[in-house]
Homo-oligomer: A and B are copies of this chain.
């Protein structure tokens, strides 16, 4: 089996990032990753490693569980 076989992880990265007035590049810098990576994550093209998830959560002043979920987030908050 592969690592995450068609097992998506939903997230609210873009929502939180925009709320803080940050560009993807800004967030990428804070999290220490490539800015394209943020794009891939926001489009949910793949799910991050735990390390990255923790770094992003920290960069956005959120708990991992507030930003990422195995089940879809409800619209609006």
What residues make up the interface of A, taking CB atoms closer than 8 Å to B?
Answer: 3-4, 7, 9, 47-55, 63-65, 68-70
Contacts of A54 in B (CB 8 A): 9, 68-70
Interface residue from B9, B50, B65, B69 paired with A63 (Cβ < 8 Å):
B65
18 residue pairs bridging A and B, Cβ less than 8 Å apart:
A4-B51, A4-B52, A7-B51, A9-B51, A9-B54, A48-B49, A48-B50, A49-B49, A50-B50, A50-B52, A50-B53, A50-B64, A50-B68, A53-B53, A54-B69, A55-B70, A64-B64, A64-B65
Complex CA gap A62/B54 in Å reads 16
Complex CA gap A69/B55 in Å reads 10
